[in-house]
Amino acid sequence: MLSPSPRAVALAVLREWGRRPADLDRIIDRHLGRAGSLADRDRRLAFGLASGAVQRQGYLDWLAARFCRRPLPRLDPLALAALRLGLFQLLFLDRVPAFAAVHETVAAAKALGLADRTAGFVNAVLRQVDRQRPLLPEPAASLPATEALAVAASLPAWLVARWHRALGPEAAASRCQAANQPAPLVLRANRRRGDAGRLLASLAAAGLAAAPGRFAPQAVRLPADAGPVPELPGYSQGLFQVQDEAAQLVPLLLGPVPGGSFLDACAGLGGKTTQLAELAGPAGRIVAVEPEPARRRLLAENLGRLGLTAEVEIRAGRLEEQARTLPQGGFQGVLLDAPCSGTGVLRRHPDLRWRRQPEDLARYQAKQLALLEAAGPLVAEGGVLVYATCSHEPEENEEVLAAFLARHPGFRQDDPRPWLPAPARELVDGQGLLRTEPARHDTDGFFAARLARKG
């Protein structure tokens, strides 16, 4: 049996996504798993086509609606997926010839079962858009300013409106534009097996355009298209962990020292867990709590690859459950990188923009406060609790912080600057909070506060 084409895989992903938006990476992984012996190059193409079409979906739908007589929600899901995929290639992929963008997309849709008549309709719309490319309508010509910005940047109108109110028009536009820029691939050199200089030399020897980080001392930056991470020099030897620079700064706020005891309350894949283990050394004690089995498996794999398995105890379950059996006041530092809306990482996770709704902010806030309530008693007297999110939204950041401090006078907000590398101290604002902005710093958008427990 022949493998499907990259466009057929991307179309299958977009059809499923259109029916029920969910975690896009998982949908793509599932369909690539069904694709059999698809070459690595074609797998990367399928991934880029699917994720790019989802990222630009708002603008693509707005444009498609101007060339379709029938409302888009009434179209066959495969036809709508084909329109999005074809338009994305025509308008955003300069290296794809127009003929290939149209013909191969329609052929892939027919191979997946699209009726000839509907395929002809998709073909006609795509060719009409291609012919009119120099004269395509602009959102700003027919929409109010914030709505036009939302369409042009392919972001939900509610999110753009709140950024516009909070930041003003220019800064809001910059944040929206940054949400569609390619994010660099950032590595953190494993201190146990070398420093950033060694990693840079290894990557440069392989012909990769690597550069040192701007804010974090162990950071090494690569272009977004540097290739599959497992194929990079030093991956299998455990020389590095993938971790954005902003994320690398957050554990430093704990002031980790060799031999210290630390809790990563929401460990995920282990970027911050492994960083704490490196800094605490073989004599340190690290506990990592993670409820999701798939993430725990990847966390264990990363620990093994980096040579840090012995230093970390992985606990399965939610923090609220584990807090009952963890020692009260037993940790010098507790890191709570809380689940959040993820509005600071939209350029890395393009599907999040369509999966989040305004009411989600209150739901996340309640979850974040519950996690802080569970984490607080685990901090030793004189110890530190670091609260962080990858969100820009005050409901998940300042409001959560204020509510927790109001309930817990035994904690006080502490200045994070002494614990940061000198270049990163500019990232601390006038409120004493670490904030990073993709548009200004070319990092993920993070918020972090250092809370000291009175001793």
Catalogue the active-site residues.
390
Residue type, 346: L
Q: Which two tokens stand for residue 280?
A: 């605490």
Task: Round to whole Å and give the CA distance between 375 and 164.
Answer: 34
Task: Round to whole Å and give the CA distance between 212 and 197.
Answer: 8
Quote the radius of gyration of the chain (alpha carbons, Å). 24
3-state secondary structure 137-182: CCHHHCCCHHHHHHHHHCCCHHHHHHHHHHHCHHHHHHHHHHCCCC
Q: Which two tokens stand for residue 169?
A: 């028009």
Which residues have C-beta within 8 Å of that of residue 366, sequence separation ≥ 6?
A: none
Task: Round to whole Å and give the CA distance between 188 and 356.
Answer: 30
Task: Round to whole Å and give the CA distance between 431 and 255.
Answer: 20
Q: If we measure between CA atoms, which residue out of 270, 231, 225 comes closest to residue 251?
A: 270
Residue 323: count of CB within 10 angstroms of its CB: 20
DSSP H helices, 155-292, are 157-167, 169-178, 196-205, 245-249, 271-280
Number of H-type helices and E-type strands within the chain = 19, 12
Angle at Cα 234 formed by Cα 230 and Cα 238, nearest 5°?
A: 85
Angle at Cα 190 formed by Cα 184 and Cα 192, nearest 5°?
A: 170
Task: Round to whole Å and give the CA distance between 449 and 230.
Answer: 33
CA distance from start to end of the chain: 68
Which residues have C-beta within 8 Å of that of residue 45, sequence separation ≥ 6?
A: 6, 10
Residue 53: count of CB within 10 angstroms of its CB: 25
Residue 361: count of CB within 10 angstroms of its CB: 19
Which residues have C-beta within 8 Å of that of residue 331, sequence separation ≥ 6?
A: 261, 262, 263, 287, 378, 379, 380, 383
Q: If we measure between CA atoms, which residue out of 239, 268, 233 comes closest to residue 345?
A: 268
Residue that the structure tokens 């105890």 belong to: 313
